[in-house]
Amino acid sequence: MKIIMLGAPGAGKGTQAKMIAAKYDIPHISTGDIFRANIKNGTELGAKAKEYMDKGLLVPDELVVDLVIDRFKEPDCEKGYVLDGFPRTIPQAEALDKALTAIGESVDYAINVEVPDDNIINRMGGRRACVGCGATYHIVYSPTKVEGKCDTCGGDLIIRDDDKPETVKNRLSVYHEQTQPLIDYYTNKGIIAEVDGTVDMKDVFNAIVGILGE
Ligand code: ADP
Ligand code: AMP
């Protein structure tokens, strides 16, 4: 099963993608996580990506596409994958289609997690990420057992650099301009599925399972 998660930054794509990956036993591929791991490890790609990420801009397509297409060649992708944060532009979607068509495959579902901009600003302000394992929490909606410490690995929690309010506003306008057109793109392909992302995370997930099947 090949799934794409669509939605504004902070809509809950990562939260849902992790649950989908666990239930359907497929890898969760997050381009944002891949870039953050590169930044943490001090790679050249990480340094290039950080310049854009810190400003709330998209990393150029040429730095993203090959990286994702190469990732599909790993053995854990045999049964499919859930893509979180890719594609984010029409050229990325076209590159994905081309790569899949070449091997006789295609995307099965593009799930759009719908959340209005006002809720997004609220969500991003409360998001916390673990420096150790990258797990995501929210100070109100998904708090850790011990404040400031990851439930999974005990690592310290931080506010992502790009979750500061000025950057979030930029990211939202970039989303509306460059990523939202993908909703029409996948609607035209007949594989879009819309879910209400404003309800409790478990209810969002139940709606997704209703679409993907048990
Ligand atoms: P994205 O991957 O789309 O950027 P995340 O999955 O990281 O978004 O979610 C953004 C923030 O909102 C996180 O702090 C997360 O815990 C919280 N969150 C996710 N889904 C919900 C929901 N349905 N209700 C309330 N908060 C949520
Ligand atoms: P995310 O973790 O998905 O919110 O991504 C964080 C940041 O990484 C984005 O704001 C972009 O700067 C960059 N990024 C992640 N995925 C992509 C992509 N597919 N194309 C361009 N930039 C991306």
With cut-offs at 50, 70 and 90, classify the pLDDT of residue 122. Answer: confident
Q: What digits encode the pLDDT tens for the residues 160-210?
A: 989 998 899 999 999 999 999 999 999 999 999 999 999 999 999 999 999
Question: Catalytic residue numbers?
Answer: 13, 88, 127, 160, 171
| pLDDT tens column, 129-159 | 999 999 999 999 999 999 999 999 999 999 9
What is the Å distance from ligand 2's center to 56 Cα? 9
- In this structure, which ligand is nearest to the CA of 113? 1
Confidence band for 104, pLDDT divided at 50, 70 and 90: very high
Instruction: Identify the residue whose tokens are 């594989």.
Output: 191
Q: Which residues of 63-100 are buried (b: 16+ CB within 10 A; e: fewer)?
A: ebbebbeebbeeeeeeebbbbbbbbbbeebbebbbebe
Higher-confidence residue of 23 and 164: namely 23
The pTM (predicted TM-score) of the whole model is: 0.96
Closest among 177, 208, 213 to 195, alpha carbons compared: 208
| Percentage of the residues of the chain whose pLDDT score is greater than 90 | 94
Q: What is the mean pLDDT of residues 96-123?
A: 95
pLDDT of residue 191: 98
DSSP states along 52-83 = HHTTTPPPPHHHHHHHHHHHTTSGGGTT-EEE
From ligand 2's centre to the CA of 214, what distance in Å? 30
In the prediction, which pLDDT does 3 show?
Answer: 98
- Mean pLDDT for 33-54 is 96
Looking at residue 161, what is its pLDDT?
A: 87
Instruction: Please classify residue 17 by burial: count the beta carbons closer than 10 Å to its beta carbon, then call 0-12 exposed, 13-18 middle and 19+ buried.
Output: buried
Q: What is the pLDDT of residue 169?
A: 92
* Average pLDDT taken over every residue of the chain: 96
Q: What type of residue sits at position 201?
A: M
Pure H helices in the chain: 13-24, 31-40, 44-53, 61-71, 90-102, 117-126, 165-174, 181-188, 201-212
Residue listed under structure tokens 């609607």: 187
Q: How far is the CA of 78 from the centre of ligand 2 (A)?
A: 24
The mean pLDDT of 85-105, rounded to a whole number, is 97
Q: Which residues does a 6 A CB cutoff place in the pocket of ligand 1?
A: 7, 9-15, 123, 126-127, 136-138, 141-142, 197, 200-201, 204
Closest residue by CA, ligand 1 atom 22: 201
Report how far apart, in Å, the C-alpha atoms of 106 and of each of 21, 59, 116 are: 18, 24, 29
> Which residue type, as a one-letter code, is found at position 127?
R
Residue 201 token pair:
């995370």
Q: Which ligand is nearest to the CA of 171?
A: 2
Lowest mean pLDDT among 14-23, 49-58, 84-93, 161-170: 161-170
